[in-house]
Structure 1
Amino acid sequence: MDYDAARSRAREAEAGLFLAEPVSLASIKGHLERQRGRKIVINPIEGATDKVCGLWFGLDHMDLILHARAASEVHRQQIVLHEFAHMVLRHEQEIVSPEYAGTFFPDLDPERVVRALRRTDFLNEVEVTAELLADRLAARIRRSQDRSGGQPGNFSSVFG
């Protein structure tokens, strides 16, 4: 794996977003909703999960991000930013068995669940690049917060 290339892609993707200051989790969410022309819904995954931190489902009418319950707001923010990064980087969701997928979220189309669940190998180039972009976005949020003295990432406006 070429970490320099992954860092370069993450840097270019961040620059290509043209985010207006101040940057917050809520402002990134709003920016992506406008860019993608659809609502982004963020909800916790009910029940314990030891392998999946976050899942992004590109549904017909919205983007759905599900995240594991996190130990802190900062950790939850990082999970969501990682899923945002997959959107920004236009990462396709890979395929696994629909039968397996149906056991996780029976109310969702198994093909969509399958694609989201394939992203659990955190050492592949797709996941590393998404995490590097998430880190860059988190740093932008921290810098904006430091300058404005506001709440960390506007958590309440995104998570309620």
Structure 2
Amino acid sequence: MDYDAARSRAREAEAGLALAEPVSLASIQRHLERQRGRKIVINAIDGATDKVCGLWFGLDHMDLILHARAASEVHRQQIVLHEFAHMVLRHEQEIVSPELAGTFFPELDPERVVRALRRTDFLNEVEVTAELLADRLAARIRRSQDRSGGQPGNFSSVFG
């Protein structure tokens, strides 16, 4: 795997987003919704396995990101940013079988679940590039918080 190429793609993808300051998880979400022309819904899921932190499903009318319950807001943010990175990098989703759709959406007609990004190898170039872009976006969020005097996570309520 070519880590330099992955870093370069992540850097170019971040620059191509042209995010307006201040940058936050919510502002990135709104930016992607406008860019993609569809709503992005983010929900926690119970019972996720060690191998599944986040999933991105393309439904017929929106994008849905499901994430494992995270130990902290920073960890949750990183999981969501990783899924956003797959969108930005235009990583292809696969057609979802009705059986898989029924596992995650028992109350939804399986035909409405169109595509999902499924991963079997977390060290391939696609995953590494998405994580590098997620790291860059997280750094932008931190820099925006520093400039605005904001506190990351929930620090202000814990430490005063």
The DSSP-based 3-state class of the residue aligned with 2:20 is: coil
Distance (Å, rounded) in 1 between the aligned partners of 2:156 and 2:73: 10
CA contact (8 A) 1:26 1:158 kept: no
Stretch moving more, 108-117 or 141-150: 108-117
**How far did residue 106 of structure 1 move?**
3.1
**How far did residue 90 of structure 1 move?**
0.6
Q: For 1:5-29, what per-residue CA distance to the aligned partner results, in whole angstroms no more than 9, with x for missing partners?
A: 1111000000000001111111101
Distance (Å, rounded) in 2 between the aligned partners of 1:68 and 1:137: 20
Against the structure 1 CA distance between its residues 76 and 102, is the aligned structure 2 distance closer, same or farther, given a 3 Å change threshold?
Answer: same
**How far did residue 117 of structure 1 move?**
5.9
Against the structure 1 CA distance between its residues 100 and 42, is the aligned structure 2 distance closer, same or farther, given a 3 Å change threshold?
Answer: closer
**How far did residue 95 of structure 1 move?**
5.4
Distance (Å, rounded) in 1 between the aligned partners of 2:58 and 2:40: 9
**How far did residue 151 of structure 1 move?**
4.1
CA RMSD of aligned residues (A): 4.0
Against the structure 1 CA distance between its residues 32 and 155, is the aligned structure 2 distance closer, same or farther, given a 3 Å change threshold?
Answer: farther
The DSSP-based 3-state class of the residue aligned with 1:116 is: strand
**How far did residue 119 of structure 1 move?**
1.6
Distance (Å, rounded) in 2 between the aligned partners of 1:137 and 1:118: 22
Distance (Å, rounded) in 2 between the aligned partners of 1:99 and 1:59: 15
Against the structure 1 CA distance between its residues 151 and 26, is the aligned structure 2 distance closer, same or farther, given a 3 Å change threshold?
Answer: farther
Against the structure 1 CA distance between its residues 89 and 100, is the aligned structure 2 distance closer, same or farther, given a 3 Å change threshold?
Answer: same
Identity of aligned residues (%): 96
**How far did residue 51 of structure 1 move?**
1.3
Q: For 1:41-60, what per-residue CA distance to the aligned partner results, in whole angstroms no more than 9, with x for missing partners?
A: 10001224221100111112
Aligned residues: 160
Distance (Å, rounded) in 1 between the aligned partners of 2:140 and 2:156: 18
CA contact (8 A) 1:43 1:67 kept: yes
Give 1 or 2: higher strand fraction. 2
CA contact (8 A) 2:58 2:113 kept: no
**How far did residue 75 of structure 1 move?**
0.3
Against the structure 1 CA distance between its residues 93 and 25, is the aligned structure 2 distance closer, same or farther, given a 3 Å change threshold?
Answer: same
Structure 2, unaligned stretches of length 5 or more? none
CA contact (8 A) 1:25 1:158 kept: no
Against the structure 1 CA distance between its residues 44 and 21, is the aligned structure 2 distance closer, same or farther, given a 3 Å change threshold?
Answer: same
CA contact (8 A) 1:101 1:113 kept: yes
Distance (Å, rounded) in 1 between the aligned partners of 2:46 and 2:15: 35
Distance (Å, rounded) in 1 between the aligned partners of 2:111 and 2:128: 24
CA contact (8 A) 2:58 2:114 kept: no
